[in-house]
Amino acid sequence: MAINLAELQKTTQHPPIIVLHGHEGIGKSTTANGFPGAYWLNLENSTYDFDPNMVQVPKSYSELLDHLSALAEQQHNFKTVIIDTLDKVEIMMTEYVCAQNGWKSISDPDYGKGYGKRSAEFQNFWNHIKAINDRGIAIVIIAHTMITEIKDPILPTYDRHTINIYKTENAFIRREADLVGYCMIETYTSSADGTRNLATTAGRRVIKVKPHPAYDAKTRKAAMPDELDMSAGAILQYYKPNRTQNKETKKEE
């Protein structure tokens, strides 16, 4: 079908795909709960300190994909899909790939073939996420943090707070997500006796959103500051609804 540029109008931008990572108990789930109209996929079967409007607990990777397919294809009024956690997605995905190929472990096949199969399945998982997002539904993915040793060709080796998944999938997530936020309690250090660094905090919780050598973070919103208060509202203020659309969409409505 030929495109007539004279008839085109600006299309609606999709809502964000957000990844929030941090250490346990930092408040990631509480922050995610502030997003509107949430459908929770509680893979960890956690007990929350709040009552989600809709929460489901998939027991397997196949069941997770069934939920994602339903959210992408069926009519519903959910505005946000929350996946808790990405770590558990990777564990379920590994079990699925191994079962499909008759492997005891993802590292059993030679030449990294197992990890390659899992990376291909991760792309399939992400295709499901994109199909939901293309319907105008925000995605919030919660993940834990691990400390990784970074071997930089320019700098001496240093440590970094990274998303707790395999390096290939980690790089994929950081490339594809609209926002990667590192959640932390603002912490200060002092030397009481000149020999030890003591950590203290006033308790303020923040989300770091700009790239930094010390942690995985990213935003496509240039107007965002380096850090936000840890709340859904602090994030959503940078994602105003875009009501413009093309003429073909208007006709379908």
In this prediction, residue 248 carries a pLDDT of 39
In a domain, 214, yes or no: yes
d(CA 32, CA 27): 9
In a domain, 123, yes or no: yes
Q: Can you list the positions of beta strands (E) in 57-176?
A: 80-84, 138-150, 158-163
Q: Is the pLDDT of residue 243 over 70?
A: no
Q: What is the pLDDT of residues 200-233, one digit of tens each?
A: 767 789 999 999 999 999 999 999 999 999 999 9
- The residue among 152 and 140 whose pLDDT is bigger is 140
> What's the whole-number mean pLDDT along residues 116-139?
96
Range of the structural domain that residue 223 is part of: 13-237
**Amino acid at residue number 210:** K
Q: Is the pLDDT of residue 191 over 70?
A: no
Q: What percent of the chain has pLDDT over 70?
A: 89
pTM: predicted TM-score of the whole model, two decimal places: 0.87
In a domain, 5, yes or no: no
In this prediction, residue 240 carries a pLDDT of 75
In this prediction, residue 252 carries a pLDDT of 40
Q: 3-state class of 164 per DSSP?
A: coil
In this prediction, residue 166 carries a pLDDT of 93
Q: Is the pLDDT of residue 23 over 60?
A: yes
In a domain, 174, yes or no: yes
- The residue among 245 and 21 whose pLDDT is bigger is 21
In a domain, 247, yes or no: no
In a domain, 55, yes or no: yes
Q: Label residue 4 by pLDDT band (50, 70, 90).
A: confident
What element of type H or E holds 14?
A: none
In this prediction, residue 81 carries a pLDDT of 97
- The residue among 1 and 41 whose pLDDT is bigger is 41
In this prediction, residue 161 carries a pLDDT of 96
Q: How many domains does the chain have?
A: 1
Distances (CA, A) of 252 to 77, 123, 132, 245: 19, 30, 19, 12
Tracing tokens 């919660």 back to the chain, one arrives at 142
Supply the CATH number for residue 125's domain: 3.40.50
In a domain, 90, yes or no: yes
In this prediction, residue 187 carries a pLDDT of 76
Q: Is the pLDDT of residue 195 over 70?
A: no
Q: Is the pLDDT of residue 194 over 70?
A: no
